[in-house]
């Protein structure tokens, strides 16, 4: 078996449903890669980038917030609270959101909602990284470093 079914969905829509050769997802414990035949696994996602290699060998890139990854030998399902195709993300807007979230986190330092502000910042940074990786892949350059 050299492929498996992959479904990536957010709370509103399916982002990807098809066949792939591999999937790499941001789990709470760290980034993890899955190939066909992988042992069953249910894991928590953290904000980050999901990458998959499609049957043509091309990499597809998605941003996801928190959620779950369910892995079976012949199927991977990514259930994210929020998620987008990197191709659909406005890079300039994503960069502005990172700046705003960073400023908000600094303002909340030492306050009760600091952890919430930090989570918002992590999600904004992951979203920006996803679109930058996508742009690098589609424009033949190297992926931009994290902000």
- pLDDT tens sequence for the chain (147 residues): 799 999 999 999 999 999 999 999 999 999 999 999 999 999 999 999 999 999 999 999 999 998 999 999 999 999 999 999 988 988 888 888 888 888 877 776 666 576 677 778 888 888 888 888 888 888 765 444 444
CA–CA gap between residue 82 and residue 89 (Å, rounded): 13
User: In the structure encoding, which two tokens stand for residue 147, read together?
Assistant: 């902000």
pTM of the model: 0.76
Strand partners, 69: 43, 78
């Amino acid at each position: 078996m050299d492929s498996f079914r992959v479904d990536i969905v957010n709370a509103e829509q399916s982002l990807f449903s098809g066949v792939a050769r591999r999937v790499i997802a941001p789990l709470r414990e760290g980034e993890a890669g899955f190939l066909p035949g992988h042992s069953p696994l249910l894991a928590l996602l953290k904000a980050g980038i999901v990458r998959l290699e499609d049957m043509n060998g091309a990499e597809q890139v998605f941003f996801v917030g928190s959620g779950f990854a369910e892995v079976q030998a012949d199927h991977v399902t990514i259930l994210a609270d929020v998620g987008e195709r990197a191709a659909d993300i406005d890079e300039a807007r994503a960069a502005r959101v990172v700046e705003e979230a960073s400023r908000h986190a600094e303002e909340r330092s030492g306050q009760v909602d600091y952890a919430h502000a930090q989570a918002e910042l992590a999600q904004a940074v992951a979203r920006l990284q996803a679109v930058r990786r996508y742009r690098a892949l589609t424009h033949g350059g190297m992926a931009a470093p994290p902000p």
